[in-house]
A and B are shown apart, each in its own frame.
Chain A
Amino acid sequence: MGSAASAAAPPPPPPAQPQMAAPSYGLGLAGILPSKPEGDDKKEVEKVDYLNLPCPVPFEEIQREALMSLKPELFEGLRFDFTKGLNQKFSLSHSVFMGSLEVPSQSSETIKVPTAHYEFGANFLDPKLILVGRVMTDGRLNARVKCDLTDDLTLKINAQLTHEPHYSQGMFNFDYKGTDYRAQFQIGNNAFYGANYMQSVTPNLSMGTEIFWLGHQRKSGIGFASRYNTDKMVGTLQVASTGIVALSYVQKVSEKVSLASDFMYNHMSKDVTSSFGYDYMLRQCRLRGKIDSNGVVAAYLEERLNMGVNFLLSAELDHSKKNYKFGFGMTIGE
């Protein structure tokens, strides 16, 4: 729930190991002193300092690269977004959408509801405080707050408020970032409590766990996750007691191209889905495409026409359910 987290680019590769310079001793000294190993130690395994591991990615973002490549925001209809910056930190946004939204239905038939809405938004982005609010013409408010209480502790609030009673949702998250671990505690409406913890085990591998408890339905769950990443690839595994097993793998083939694949198994509904996609990040455009084991083919193109003007094309074809979605749009401003 809630809007997608800030789509940060995959973490930059760690700085290259500086080449060790040849010792500039005189010839006499070189004979006496032990010779230092020359060149970089790529062939030798570097000694891992287990007390100095990097901070892991937050638990909800372990599949970040796979989600960015495989799940673009596909839409059907017309979309127009205009963002006006008033200063470095503060901007207003106006967004128009005219098209069909899919309503999740129990039967195999898809239900599409034609809608049109205008959304006004205000964003305040500061390193220590982020306030993002979006309000629609029917009164629905989508609010996100991120506040750095101290250097290590962050409070995040995510809320969708409506005028209809009992339809509003809210979630408070307290994040603590340690030297090589992250912990998060969540409180949500309907008496939802959750906690998760992520620990770096080696410089490339991090593992974590989460538990949650739903008060009103008396349901609880526990899950485990692990993420292995190098400069070129990211692999994740997630298992939950709700019966979901999810794996993903992203390979960065070059600076501009990355390939991703994803596998999900739901034990309760005996549902297996696998998808494979590509992500081309070129200078003037970004093209993402994917194909699914359900026979769904989708593509999403963002073309940069000019500075700050982007043209969007979105397509999703599902031949078995006869559901074809095509959308186009324009984004002006950042």
Chain B
Amino acid sequence: MASTAAEKGKAPADTEETAPAIAARLAAEWTTWAMKNAKVVAHYGFIPLVILVGMNSEPKPRLAQLLSPI
């Protein structure tokens, strides 16, 4: 009984993290999440971005010119 109580007393102390460690872990997780999503956004959105910037430059080309082969 005493040994199990001692084990229970020890276990929460090991799983507790100090505040800076929690902050570092969260920062690493969020930057990884941000980089993964930035890569997906860049992959799908780069060509549409170039087309958007191009269609809004002067003189504005027409949509028909974008889609037709001549």
Seen from chain A, the residues whose Cβ lies within 8 Å of a Cβ on chain B are 84, 86-87, 89-90, 92, 120, 122-124, 126, 129, 131-133, 135, 139, 141, 143, 159, 161, 163, 168
| Chain B interface category by residue count | 20 to 34
Chain B residues lying within 8 Å of A90, measured Cβ to Cβ, are: 53-55, 57, 61
Main secondary structure of the interface of B (DSSP, over half): helix
Query: Is the C-beta of B42 less than 8 angstroms from some C-beta in chain A?
Result: yes
Partner of B47, one of A86, A122, A159: A122
| Cβ of B21 to closest chain A Cβ, rounded Å | 22
Q: Which residue of B lies closest to A92 (CB)?
A: B66
| Cβ of A92 to closest chain B Cβ, rounded Å | 7
Q: Which residue of B lies closest to A157 (CB)?
A: B42
Known: A87-B59, A87-B61. A131 touches B42 (CB 8 A): no
Seen from chain B, the residues whose Cβ lies within 8 Å of a Cβ on chain A are 39, 42-43, 46-47, 49-51, 53-55, 57-61, 65-66, 69-70
Known: A86-B61, A92-B66, A131-B49. A122 touches B54 (CB 8 A): yes
Bound state CA distance, A92 and B59, in angstroms? 16
Q: Which residue of A lies closest to B65 (CB)?
A: A86
Chain B residues lying within 8 Å of A129, measured Cβ to Cβ, are: 53
Q: Flag if B66 contacts A86 (CB, 8 Å).
A: yes
| Cβ of B32 to closest chain A Cβ, rounded Å | 13
| Cβ of A134 to closest chain B Cβ, rounded Å | 8
Chain B residues lying within 8 Å of A161, measured Cβ to Cβ, are: 39, 42-43
| Cβ of A164 to closest chain B Cβ, rounded Å | 12
Chain A residues lying within 8 Å of B60, measured Cβ to Cβ, are: 87
Bound state CA distance, A123 and B46, in angstroms? 11
Bound state CA distance, A135 and B50, in angstroms? 12
Chain A residues lying within 8 Å of B54, measured Cβ to Cβ, are: 86-87, 89-90, 122, 124
Partner of A123, one of B43, B50, B65: B50
Q: Flag if A120 contacts B50 (CB, 8 Å).
A: no
Main secondary structure of the interface of A (DSSP, over half): strand
Partner of A143, one of B42, B53, B59, B61: B42
Q: Flag if B42 contacts A120 (CB, 8 Å).
A: no
| Cβ of B42 to closest chain A Cβ, rounded Å | 6
- 18 more contacts with CB within 8 A, not counting A84-B70, A86-B61, A89-B57, are A86-B55, A86-B65, A89-B54, A90-B53, A90-B55, A90-B57, A92-B66, A122-B50, A124-B50, A124-B53, A124-B57, A131-B49, A139-B43, A143-B42, A159-B42, A161-B39, A163-B43, A168-B39
Chain A residues lying within 8 Å of B50, measured Cβ to Cβ, are: 122-124, 131-133
Q: Flag if A120 contacts B57 (CB, 8 Å).
A: no
Q: Which residue of B lies closest to A125 (CB)?
A: B54
Chain A residues lying within 8 Å of B59, measured Cβ to Cβ, are: 87
Partner of B46, one of A87, A89, A133: A133
Bound state CA distance, A122 and B54, in angstroms? 9
